[in-house]
Amino acid sequence: MNIFIQQLVNGLAWGGIYALISIGYTMVYGVMQLINFAHGDVFMAGAFAGLVVANLLPNKTSFPSVVLVFLSAMLFSTFLGILIERFGYRSLWRKKAPRLSLLIVAVSISLLLENGGLFIFGAAPRSFPQIIPLKNYSVGGILFTNLQLLIILTSLFLMGILHIIVMRTKMGRAMRAVAEDSEMSALLGIPRERILSFTFALGSSLAGIAGVMVALYTPQINPLMGLLPGLKAFVAAVLGGIGSIPGAMLGGFVLGEAETLVSAYLSSSYRDLFAFLVLILILLFRPQGLLGKGVVEKI
């Protein structure tokens, strides 16, 4: 029983990371019905921004420098997210291009970021400096590290802030209005394109923080690191119900737990297979996800 609880605790950390990334997917999907494939690579870019800043700092383990690493990753990925929206999607979105075209552009932006990263940083994995020294704790026989604790608490904290932004602020209300009916909200005078930029910025900043946390947790990063977590975060978003923020959180945690259990009790090589199997099963039997609402086809 102890082993089982131990695995659950291990799964929580990955769950929090998946949840943070999948919120970005779900928000963008909510407002513009686009699967932003480049989102996983924004997460990678955040990790690399953190690496560059961490290598520049003299006293890496001090509290201000840790904050600085997180902030710079967040700022850089936010900037990148806005850039992607502005130069990749906006012109197509304005033209009301088919969703297929948007999807192809998303895939090509993702390739640009990955291969650009490979060109700049090389394919060999980089080790991330240990800006937070590892400590082990044990409560009632269950082991956990301060990093796991940090990841879980930070992700819960950020999700709380996000909830307040989306539910309580004017910007959040405008976002929900655009997600509900984009045309109608434009008629009512909501600046749709600004809302879009804001959505990308918000989602990307969360992905950037997730990037640094993964970099600290694994502690090696490479330019292709965004590919698989990105796809899995998407699976998490679909699992929870794409377009729903609480769904993305739930999906992230469920997927993280399920993956950890699969690699603990079956084999770690089936971990990725399992994630995609979950995706296809969910798509087949409950396409609206765990918390999503069914959509009626409009003619």
Place of tokens 């936010």: 78
Binding mask 24-53 for another protein (x = CB under 8 A): ---------x-x------------------
Secondary structure element (H or E) that encloses residue 240, with its range: helix 227-240
Cα torsion angle, 165, 244, 225, 153, sign: positive
Contact 81, 89 (CB under 8 A): no
Candidate segments 4-12, 60-68, 184-192, 231-239, binder of another protein by CB under 8 A? 231-239
The CA-based diameter of the chain, rounded to the nearest angstrom, is 61
Binding flag, residue 105, another protein (CB under 8 A): yes
Interface with another protein in residues 278-297 (CB under 8 A): 279-280, 283-284, 287, 297
Candidates 5, 56, 118, 164: give the one binding another protein (CB under 8 A): 118
Binding flag, residue 188, another protein (CB under 8 A): no
Minimum distance from CB of 89 to another protein (Å)? 10
Residue 275: count of CB within 10 angstroms of its CB: 21
Candidates 56, 111, 134, 266: give the one binding another protein (CB under 8 A): 111
Cα–Cα distance between 36 and 44 in angstroms, integer?
A: 14
Candidates 71, 231, 258, 291: give the one binding another protein (CB under 8 A): 231
Cα–Cα distance between 105 and 83 in angstroms, integer?
A: 14
- Nearest CA to 216 out of 46, 86, 64, 26 is that of 46
Select 109 or 131, whichever has its Cβ closest to another protein.
109
Minimum distance from CB of 272 to another protein (Å)? 5
User: Rounded to whole angstroms, what are the CA distances from 205 to 70, 75, 119, 210, 250?
Assistant: 10, 7, 24, 9, 20
Interface with another protein in residues 66-95 (CB under 8 A): 88, 91-92
By CB under 8 A, name the binding residues for another protein.
33, 35, 88, 91-92, 97, 99-101, 103-105, 107-109, 111-112, 114-116, 118-119, 227, 231, 234-235, 238, 269-270, 272-273, 276-277, 279-280, 283-284, 287, 297, 299
